Amino acid sequence: MTKPLAENRRARFDYEILETLEAGIELKGHEVKSVKSGRLGIAGSYAVIRGGEAWLLNSQIPPYQPKNTPPDYDPTRTRRLLLRSDEIKRLVGVLKEKSVTLVPLNAHLKRGIVKIELGIGRSKKKSDKREVLKKRAAEREMRRVA
C-alpha cells in the first residue's frame, strides 16, 4: 500500500478494529485534486448504510482553489462510498450487532484512484484506553532509561 493521504489515528485508539475493507469514494473533480494534495480530514467521520448504499459523513475536503470553486460547495458534504452490493448486504448484517460502527481508518491512492480503508470497530471501554496509555508511558520510560 502507498503512503496514506489522510489517517484517522484516533479511530484505532477509540475502537477495537475487528475487520477492515477498502472502498472507493465518489468525489467531484476539484475534490480529487484537493485530496491528492493531502487536504482530507477524516478524523471524527464515520460511515453509514442508507437505502442500500454506503455513505461517508463528517469528512472535510477543503476547496483546492478557494476562489475557483462553485459558490454552493460544502466541504463537509455527505459522500457516497463505492462498494459492491454483496459487501453492503454483509455490512448491514454486521452493523446490526450491538455497539459496532463503520469507521474510516485512512485514505490512500490505488492506481491513481482515491480509496478509503474502512474498519468495523467496537468501541473500547474507558479502562481499556487507560491501559493503553499506561503501557505507552511505561515503554517511553524504558526507552528513556536505556
**Are the C-beta atoms of residues 132 and 13 closer than 8 Å to each other?**
yes
**All domains of the chain in start order, with CATH:** 6-145 (2.40.280.10)
Query: What is the total residue count of the chain?
Result: 146
Q: Tell me: the pLDDT tens digits for 14-50? A: 888 888 999 999 888 888 888 888 888 888 888 889 9
Low-confidence stretches of the chain (pLDDT beneath 70): 1-2
The answer to whether 61 touches 40, Cβ cutoff 8 Å, is: yes
pLDDT at 72: 82
| Secondary structure (H, E, C), the chain | CCCCCEECHHHHHHEEEEEEEEEEECCCHHHHHHHHCCCCECCCCEEEEECCEEEEECCECCCCCHHHCCCCCCCCCCEEEECCHHHHHHHHHHHCCCCEEEEEEEEEEECCEEEEEEEEEEECCHHHHHHHHHHHHHHHHHHHHC
